[in-house]
Structure 1
């Protein structure tokens, strides 16, 4: 795996699994910040999670901070969450008092989260997230979160009309689906298609984008959909700003 430009202090793990090229390493610089950090990375430059070794409870990345704000703002008394995509377990660890069921395709990712990132909850299930969600009871979850990536991005079957209909069935009254995606912002037809597809089923949808330096750069995008109006405070969105959607096509399986 290419770590060019990264100030590696120590590589703990590096392997190609059936699903990912995975590395765990310590570095003295992360996104321009000096310090001591441990990173879980998929493929080249695809950081999946990181921890500040000097302040382990600090949440480093903007997207989990934005998602946490949306969760706390839209259902303060929420209890049950279904999460597709484990990473190092940042959101589930933050809400340790809540009931999470986490679906992760790659068993190695779970092992690494326990060994190198101190994930200690017994709530991760190995398997396809969509298939595992199908087996859950209807109206069981206050939130369904999709945070799953492959080399090609978020799989189509996790952003299709059929999958969003499944999620709608599993959400409690007033529940929400939240997606963490990567895209090219206002010019990304796939992102607008995902928003259009969500609009077919949910009355309210908002998308937020984390601005970057170049218009062609991949940007972090968070989308939330619900049957109720969506509440948020811009100052707590960790730098994410609203993305004005354009009409797109409907994504089907």
Structure 2
């Protein structure tokens, strides 16, 4: 590993490094990682246009399948800008809380779009006009996980108000496909606001492993083709409690 940047401090840890192996694959990779060892983004230095991780490939499939002519997307969480960089001709507004993440994405990962607003994603989304977006995408993490104010009923109501009638909200999360009270609660809360929902998990070795989870909510039935979901499998989370701003 060749360390390019590192900042470690109270409540904060972030590093950028080059490595010759990523998840068992040999090559030349550049990685953005938080202190809890959660990788926030990576590029193949030999093929920068290649999307390495499964979850953005699955989200892209959902976007292109459910509203092929989409034009307007609002994203909370930037990482290295994988999805936003794929659509240079479309209007993609990105809210990123940490200005250091924006700086590193530009310096080390070549992100060059001028479409990032630094600040709290929910507050920024609240300022957007109603029914302005085809998709709202939540891909925001701290070292403790997805911020709570981005998974409440009130947040989902806000997201729905900014979507076209047949738009959808997609969420990238981490959890388990069975007996996960937190994922069940988010899915239940999503169902309080959106008429149609779907949930997907990415299989991993070991039943106790934390898995990549995608949740989707929309005003219309959500379509997908399993062979294009980058290995994600649909499942039905167990019912859970309602998450609100008050509790």
Q: Given the two structures, how large is their TM-score scaled by the length of structure 2?
A: 0.97
How many angstroms does 1:20 deviate by? Answer: 3.4
Q: Given the two structures, how large is their TM-score scaled by the length of structure 1?
A: 0.95
Asked if residue 251 in structure 1 is aligned to residue 239 in structure 2, the reply is no
Match of 1:177 among 169, 172, 183: 169
Asked if residue 80 in structure 1 is aligned to residue 72 in structure 2, the reply is yes
Q: Tell me which residue corresponds to 2:105.
A: 113
Q: How many residues align?
A: 245
Q: Tell me which residue corresponds to 2:49.
A: 57
Q: Tell me which residue corresponds to 1:138.
A: 130
SS of residue in 2 equivalent to 1:186:
coil
SS of residue in 2 equivalent to 1:131:
helix
Contact in 1 for aligned 2:72/2:134 (Cα 8 Å): yes
Match of 2:145 among 150, 153, 157: 153
Asked if residue 66 in structure 1 is aligned to residue 58 in structure 2, the reply is yes
How many angstroms does 1:18 deviate by? Answer: 7.4
CA deviation string 1:214-234 (max 9, x = no partner): 121110001111010001000
Asked if residue 44 in structure 1 is aligned to residue 36 in structure 2, the reply is yes
How many angstroms does 1:92 deviate by? Answer: 0.3
CA distance in 2, matches of 1:19, 1:120: 28
SS of residue in 2 equivalent to 1:114:
helix
CA deviation string 1:151-200 (max 9, x = no partner): 11111110000100011111112010000001122121110111111111
Contact in 1 for aligned 2:36/2:143 (Cα 8 Å): no
Instruction: Name stretches of at least 5 consecutive residues in structure 2 with no aligned partner.
Output: none
Match of 1:240 among 232, 235, 241: 232
Q: Tell me which residue corresponds to 1:3.
A: none
CA distance in 2, matches of 1:234, 1:19: 39
| 1:178-193 matches, cutoff 5 A | 178-193=170-185
Contact in 1 for aligned 2:200/2:215 (Cα 8 Å): yes
Match of 1:13 among 2, 5, 23: 5
4+ residue runs over 6 A deviation: none
CA distance in 1, matches of 2:77, 2:164: 21
How many angstroms does 1:98 deviate by? Answer: 0.9
Cα RMSD over matched residues? 1.0
Q: Tell me which residue corresponds to 1:212.
A: 204
How many angstroms does 1:93 deviate by? Answer: 0.6
How many angstroms does 1:19 deviate by? Answer: 6.2
CA distance in 2, matches of 1:146, 1:18: 25
